[in-house]
Structure 1
Amino acid sequence: MISLFWVALLSATLLPGSSEVWLARQWCLDQPALTLWAVATAGNTLGSLVNVALGRYARRFQDRRWFPASAAQLARAERWYQRVGEASLLLSWLPIIGDPLTVMAGVLRLAWWRALAWIVVAKGARYALILVLASSWLGPYC
């Protein structure tokens, strides 16, 4: 169980990882599904909150030459975020775009509790779906 937490946490940061495979493996080892869901959701949510914190911290360096986004790019991202809104964090579970969305939430100073609420819903729904799919597809093979 501890390994699932760490794999889920690291998978949610900018580091590569695949917590879904580890979750399915743990399910095949007859671990309780609700516990697996809670541990994976908690770890992955915490990892995404690390990204939010990195975004908040990185914003203070926006005037430096090495900062990865120009003032114009930040302004465009802020306009996009105002249009789309914080509900875009419901896509935080997606590969490739999910991590940057959580970093952007930090850069744009979304309140912690609001980021947490959206991310928990997104991550929890994904892991619930993975467990449902694992039980229907992997059941005979475990």
Structure 2
Amino acid sequence: MEVWLGQLVHNLLAALALPQIGLVAVFVIAFISATLLPLGSEPAVYLVVKADPSMFWVVILVATVGNTLGGVVSWWMGYGVEKAVEAVQHHEPSHSRAAQWLQRFGPKACLLSWLPIVGDPLCAVAGWLKMPFWPCVGYMAVGKFLRFLFYTAALLWLVPESWLQ
């Protein structure tokens, strides 16, 4: 079993090392991980960059675009759910602490969309609260870019080569 699993991991890493597959994989994984589905994109980004360090900036940008577009989907989901609920029942705006905090900071709160656990729902709530779309997207992109930049650079610097063999 261990030999089979080891071979599977080796084949997966070899496929991710190919630029034409690696970039697509990074985009898809980054996109899916920014929706409300539980998936982390950092390992894929790290592995592709580790396989070909000259692709560092390209991989960071592809991951940022994919992750930002996933955040956009979450924003639209929140917006759509709010519209659907509004059509069924007339409700008062939420007065929860989280909603008040988001309304106080506005689209700038989307800078935190990179955070684990709360980042993806934050994008959906921004849509629910009908925050301005393009400023939210801009702040999402900046936050997600900085996350990929710092996580990947830190992993490249901190992870010993012996752990990858």
| Shorter-chain TM-score above 0.5 | yes
The structure 1 residue matched to 2:129, chosen from 104, 108, 124, is 108
The structure 2 residue matched to 1:15, chosen from 37, 58, 62, is 37
Alignment partners' CA distance in 1, 2:109 and 2:132: 14
Unaligned runs of 5+ in 1: none
Partner of 2:159: 138
Is 2:58 the counterpart of 1:38? no
The structure 2 residue matched to 1:58, chosen from 81, 87, 91, is 81
Of structures 1 and 2, the larger Rg is shown by 2
84-93 vs 116-125, which moves further: 84-93
TM-score by length of 2: 0.75
Alignment partners' CA distance in 2, 1:25 and 1:38: 15
Unaligned runs of 5+ in 2: 1-22
TM-score by length of 1: 0.86
SS in 2 for 1:52: helix
Q: Is the Cα–Cα contact under 8 Å of residues 75 and 123 in structure 2 kept in the other structure?
A: yes
Distance apart, 1:133 and its partner CA: 0.8
Partner of 2:20: none
Distance apart, 1:110 and its partner CA: 1.5
Q: Which structure has greater helix proportion?
A: 2
* One-letter amino acid matched to 2:47: R
Q: Which has the higher contact order (CA 8 A, sep 6+)?
A: 1
Alignment partners' CA distance in 2, 1:21 and 1:78: 32
The structure 1 residue matched to 2:94, chosen from 59, 71, 74, is 74
The sequence identity of aligned pairs, in percent, is 32
Q: Is the Cα–Cα contact under 8 Å of residues 107 and 132 in structure 2 kept in the other structure?
A: no
* One-letter amino acid matched to 2:85: Q
SS in 1 for 2:159: helix
Q: Number of aligned residue pairs: give it.
A: 138
